[in-house]
């Protein structure tokens, strides 16, 4: 029993220690990132990698998720109510929940793994030490462009996922359920509010913060060569996904209160 308690306490101690280290990394990023010279080219490059590089998987996944949701709403009800409420169900659930959450999980796995592997490789090859020797801050050179590119691009990808997911529901409504275009359109327009849409974008913004910062932190703390890079990459994907799910619950509760 004492061994179990000791193990649990050490686990919590490690978690709080890492949270403190990530917080310090974020403070350094804010402190050095906005100082001249600005890392504009690195920021644009990361925006292209995160935004354009993730566009295909977001479009394909959200389109079929919208189709599946339309089928579920239409056929889960034994009576006629399910079919006449397809636009309402798809529009609300996509914009409030599945758009930001699905995008964060898909893009988060790709982005956090990519960030950790790149920065971790730089740590292993001592490029990060070289940056420090030159008097520059790794938080400015490496962390700032990646974090702020994610903060800018994930809400954009979420808005695209919302639109494509609703279009996927429209395809099912037209071809399978035989619902008219105008009926589906008016259901979506009258059921989805601006607060629903922007609430989803706010979720995406918070998710992007956790995904990118966790990836950068694990990359900067790689140990053990190439094997350590692989282990850190796995930790980043797991930690980012868990953080997104936990944050989603608390943000949803907050938005309901507001």
- pTM (2 decimals)? 0.90
- State the pLDDT confidence band at 31, using cuts at 50, 70 and 90: confident
* CB contact at 8 A, 51 and 153: yes
| Across 144-153, average pLDDT | 95
Query: Can you tell me the distance from the alpha carbon of 211 to that of 209, in angstroms, rounded to the nearest whole number?
Result: 6
Tell me the three-class secondary structure of 49-85, residue by residue. Answer: HHHHHHHHHHHHHHHHHHHHHHHHHHHCCCCCHHHHC
Sign of CA dihedral 34, 36, 38, 39: negative
Residue 45: per-residue pLDDT: 93
Tell me, rounded to whole angstroms, the distance of Cα 235 from its chain centroid: 16
pLDDT at position 78, please?
A: 47
The number of CA neighbours under 13 Å toward the Cβ of 158 is: 31
Q: What pLDDT was estimated at residue 146? A: 95
- For residue 8, pLDDT over 80 is answered with no
> 225 or 66, which is more confident?
66
User: What is the residue-averaged pLDDT of the chain?
Assistant: 88
C-alpha R_g of the chain: 21
More confident residue, 24 or 18: 24
pLDDT of residue 211: 95
Phi-psi region of 13 (alpha: psi -120 to 50; beta: other; left: phi over 0): alpha
**pLDDT level of residue 36 (50, 70, 90 thresholds):** confident
- Sorting pLDDT into bands at 50, 70 and 90, what band is 177? confident
Q: Map tokens 């801050």 to a residue.
A: 137
């Amino acid at each position: 029993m004492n061994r179990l308690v000791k193990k649990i306490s050490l686990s919590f101690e490690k978690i709080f220690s890492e949270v403190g280290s990530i917080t310090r990394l974020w403070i350094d990023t804010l402190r050095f990132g906005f100082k001249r010279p600005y890392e504009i080219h690195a920021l644009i490059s990361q925006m292209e990698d995160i935004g354009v590089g993730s566009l295909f998987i977001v479009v394909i996944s959200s389109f079929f998720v919208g189709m599946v949701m339309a089928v579920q709403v239409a056929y889960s009800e034994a009576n006629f109510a399910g079919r006449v409420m397809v636009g309402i169900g798809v529009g609300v659930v996509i914009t409030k929940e599945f758009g930001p959450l699905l995008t964060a999980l898909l893009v988060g796995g790709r982005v956090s793994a990519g960030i950790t592997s790149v920065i971790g490789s730089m740590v292993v090859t001592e490029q990060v030490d070289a940056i420090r020797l030159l008097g520059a801050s790794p938080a400015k050179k490496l962390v700032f462009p990646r974090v702020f590119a994610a903060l800018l691009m994930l809400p954009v990808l979420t808005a695209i996922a919302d639109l494509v997911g609703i279009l996927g529901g429209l395809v099912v409504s037209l071809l399978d359920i035989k619902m008219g275009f105008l009926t589906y359109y008016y259901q979506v327009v009258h059921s989805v509010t601006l607060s629903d849409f922007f609430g989803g974008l706010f979720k995406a913004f918070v998710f992007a913060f956790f995904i990118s910062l966790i990836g950068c932190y694990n990359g900067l703390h790689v140990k053990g060569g190439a094997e350590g890079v692989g282990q850190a990459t796995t930790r980043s994907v797991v930690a980012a996904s868990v953080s997104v799910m936990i944050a989603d619950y608390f943000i949803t509760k907050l938005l309901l209160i507001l």
